[in-house]
Amino acid sequence: MIRLFFFLFLFLSLNSAAQTLKTDRVYFNYLLQNDSISFQDINLRGFDLNISRLESQVFLKNNNPHQVLKVSPIVNLNGGNTNYQAGLGASLTLNTQKWKGFVAPSFNSLQLSWLDDSLTRSTEIIPSLGWAGLSTSSKNIVNIQLPWAIQYTPSKYFNFMVGNGNQFIGPGKSSIQLTDVSRNHLFGAITTQAWKLRYTNLFSGYSQTKKQHPLFGLPNKFTTSHILEFIPNDKLSIGFFETVVWKNRDTLIDRGFDVNYLNPIIFYRPVEYSTGSSDNVLLGLNFSYTPNYKLNFYGQFLLDEFFFKYVRADIIHFIDPNRPTEEPPGWWANKHAGQIGAQWKSPFGFNKFLIQSEYNYARPYTYTHLGELENYGSGNLPLAHPLGANFTEWFNAISLVDGLWYFEVFSEFSSQGLDYWSNENFGANIFDSYLTREMEFGNYMLQGKESNMVKIGFVANYLIIPETNISATFRFTHLKQNLPGGKNLNLNLFNIGIRSNLFNDYRDI
C-alpha cells in the first residue's frame, strides 16, 4: 500500500511545476547554476510563489501549464551514525494566472545528533523544522509541520500573500536581518514594484512560549517590517530594512496587532515614541552588486541601538587602545551586526562550479530587549542569525551542479562568547533580558567563555522531485568545538537517505 501511494505521488508530481514556498539555499543554487535566475532573484526568499515558475524551465520539460491543482509527495527517510528521520507528507498546490497557493502537511519521527538534541530539548523547537514532541523515556522526537500560503497577483505591480511559513532576506548562507531558522509563523506580505523600486511590507505573528503548540501557537508577539529596494539595473540592488517588535499585552491593555504599525509608508521609530511604548525597532541596510552575471558581492548591516558618542569612543579605542577617550569604550548598547560575502559562478573558467565565501558578526546583546516578548526571536530561536549574538562566523563552500546532481564541500569557523554559568549574561543569548547584563561599559566581542567551532563537511544530492525539493542525499560533517564546563566535542557525523527541505536545514547533519 505504501509503495502504491508513493508511485501515485511520483506520477502526479511529474506532470507540472507546483508552487511551494522555498528558502533552501541548495535548491536555489540549482537554479543559479542552470542560469534560470540571477543573483538578484534570491535577495528575498519566501516572499513570492512565482519563483517556482522557473522550476518548469529547469527541471520539468513536459509540463501541463493549465493544470490547476496538483499533489506532490514530501518524503524524509534518512539515517546516520547518530541520527535518523522518518517522515511523510504531501503538498497540494493551486496554480492559476492570478491565484497561487499550497498547503504541505507532514509528520516526522526523528532522533538528532548530540548538539542538535541538546538545543531542541532546551527550546522544544527543532531548528528549521519547528515544534518538537519530546519523550522523557527515549531520544525519539516527533514533529508536525503545516506550512501554507495563498498568493494573489492582480497585476505586475502588486503581489499579496498570506500564510504560515518563513522568509529569508539576502542571498547569503545566513542573514543578520531575517532567516528561516525559527518555526513557521503566520504572516502577510504585500510587494509593490514600480519603476526601479521594490517595496515589501511584512506583517508577522509569533508564539514565544516554552510549551509550543504542535501546529499553531496563538501569537503573543508581532512584527511589521519594511524592505525598500532600489534596483537601478541588473547589476546593483540597494535595500533599506526596518522592523518593529512588540508584545501582545502591555501592563494595562491587550494591544494585539497594533494598527499604528499598519501604515505602509511610515518610519517605526517616531510611531514608537508617539505611542509611549517600549517596542523594539531595528534598522538595516543591504546591497548586492553583480559586475557580471558570474560574480556577486553582497552585504548587510543591522543597527539595533547606539549612542554616537559611545560609538566614537569604540572607534578610537579600536584604532589605538592606549589613546584616552572622553567617554568610556565598550558601552553595552552599541548593538549592531554585519555581513559581507561573495559568490562566483564558473570560477577560473570551470563551468558548473560555484564558490561562496561569507563573514558574519553580531556584537553582544544585539537583538535583545527588556524580555523575550520584545526581543528579535520566536519560538525560543532567533529570527536572524542562528547563533544569536556575540559571535563571528566565516563560511566557505565550493559546489558543483551537473544536471540534477549537486556536490558541495564546505567549511565553517565560528567563535562565540558564551556564559560560564546560567545566572550570567555576557550577551550571546538573545532571550536573556538586557537588564541582566554583566556590565555597563567595557563590553567587547566574544566576551565570556569563548567557544570556537570548526565544521567541515561534504554534501552529495540528487534531486528527485523539484516541487517539494526531494533529494537522495549523502552528508558528512566533521565538527570540533569547545564548550563551557570543559566539554570538548570532536565528532564525525554522516547521514544518507531521502530528504525533502522547503526551508534551510540548520541541523548539524
Q: DSSP string of 349-407? A: G-TTEEEEEEEEEE-TTTT--SSTTTSSEETTEESS-TT-SSEEEEEEEEEEEETTEEE
CA distance readout (Å), 70 to 103, 189, 343, 501, 503: 11, 24, 35, 18, 20
- In which residue are the cell numbers 541601538 written? 305
What would the mean pLDDT of 36-56 be, rounded to a whole number? 72
**Per-residue pLDDT reduced to its tens digit, 213-252:** 666 667 889 999 999 999 999 899 999 999 999 988 776 6
Q: In degrees to the nearest 10, what's the CA dihedral of 402, 465, 342, 159?
A: 140
For residue 14, pLDDT beyond 90 = no
> What per-residue confidence (pLDDT) applies to 64?
56
Instruction: Give the up-direction half-sphere exposure of residue 450: CA atoms within 13 A in the CB hemisphere.
Output: 8
Band the pLDDT of 192: cuts 50, 70, 90.
very high
Residue 274 has pLDDT above 60, yes or no: no
The Cβ-side half-sphere exposure at 85, using a 13 Å CA radius, reads: 28
Three cell numbers written together for 462: 540528487
At residue 270 the predicted structure's pLDDT band, cuts being 50, 70 and 90, is low
In 10 A of CB 468, how many CB atoms? 25
**pLDDT value of position 321:** 85
Q: Residue 1's pLDDT band (boundaries 50, 70, 90)?
A: very low
The cell numbers describing 77, all together, are 527517510
Residue 277 pLDDT class (50, 70, 90 cuts): low
Cell of 178: 531575517
Segment 158-183 shows an average pLDDT of: 93
Instruction: Give pLDDT tens digits for 110-152.
Output: 998 888 888 888 888 888 788 888 877 788 999 998 999 999 9
| End-to-end CA, the chain | 31
- d(CA 509, CA 494) in angstroms, rounded, equals 7
pTM > 0.85: yes
Dump strand ranges (E) for 363-390: 377-378, 381-382
- Is pLDDT of 52 > 70? no
Which pLDDT belongs to residue 271?
57
As a whole number, the mean pLDDT across the chain is 85
The Cα–Cα gap between 363 and 336 comes to 6
Minimum mean pLDDT range among 18-27, 199-208, 267-276: 267-276
Average pLDDT over residues 253-276: 66
- % of the chain residues with pLDDT over 70: 88
Q: Can you tell me the distance from the alpha carbon of 292 to that of 272, in angstroms, rounded to the nearest whole number?
A: 42
Strands 130-131 and 133-134, sheet pairing: unpaired
Band of the pLDDT at 303, cuts 50, 70, 90? very high
Quote the CA–CA distance of 246 and 284 in Å, as a whole number: 18
The answer to whether 372 and 207 have CB atoms below 8 angstroms apart is no
Contacts 24+ apart (CB under 8 A), 221-225: 221/245, 221/246, 221/247, 221/248, 221/373, 221/374, 221/378, 222/246, 222/248, 222/256, 222/257, 222/258, 223/383, 224/261, 224/262, 224/268, 225/178, 225/200, 225/201
Return the minimum-mean-pLDDT range out of 100-109, 122-131, 251-260. Answer: 251-260
Distance (Å, whole) CA 280 – CA 267: 13
Between 460 and 60, name the one with better pLDDT: 460
**Separation CA 45–CA 170 (nearest Å):** 8
Q: Are the C-beta atoms of residues 174 and 386 closer than 8 Å to each other?
A: yes
Rounded mean pLDDT of 454-477?
91
pLDDT, residue 13, reads 40
For residue 278, give the nearest of 251, 256, 240, 301 by alpha carbon: 251
pLDDT top residue among 315 and 388: 388
Q: Which residues contact 421 (CB under 8 A, 6 or more apart)?
A: none
**Torsion of the alpha carbons at 147, 153, 156 and 157, rounded to the nearest 10:** -90
Query: How sure is the predictor about 462, in pLDDT bands with cuts at 50, 70 and 90?
Result: very high
3-class SS at 481?
A: strand
The C-alpha angle with vertex 182 and arms to 372 and 146, in degrees rounded to 5, equals 125
Q: In the chain, what are the domains?
A: 150-500 (2.40.160.130)
Query: Percent of the chain at pLDDT above 90?
Result: 49
Selected residue with higher pLDDT from 19 and 334: 334
**pLDDT in the model for residue 5:** 40
pLDDT of residue 385: 96
Predicted confidence (pLDDT) at residue 487 exceeds the cutoff of 60? yes
* The amino acid at 137: S
Question: For position 356, what pLDDT does the model report?
Answer: 97
CA angle (435 as vertex; 431, 438 as ends), nearest 5: 95
pLDDT at 380 over 90: no
Q: Are 347 and 339 in contact (CB under 8 A)?
A: no
Specify the DSSP class assigned to residue 458. E
Statement: residue 259 has pLDDT above 80 = no
Alpha helices in 251-306 (DSSP H): 268-275
Question: Among 109-123, 145-159, 464-478, which range has the highest average pLDDT?
Answer: 145-159
Give the tens place of pLDDT for each residue, 417-459: 998 877 889 999 999 999 999 999 999 999 999 999 999 999 9
Q: Is 1 helix (H, G, I), strand (E, B) or coil?
A: coil
Length of the chain: 509
Alpha helices in 339-387, H assignment, sequence order: none
Is the model's pLDDT at 332 over the cut of 70? yes
**Mean pLDDT, to the nearest integer, of 362-371?**
95
In DSSP terms, 291 is beta-bridged to: none
Q: Is the pLDDT of residue 397 over 90?
A: yes
Q: Which pLDDT score, from 0 to 100, does residue 58 have?
A: 47
Q: Which of 44-53, 99-108, 109-118, 123-132 has the lowest mean pLDDT?
A: 44-53
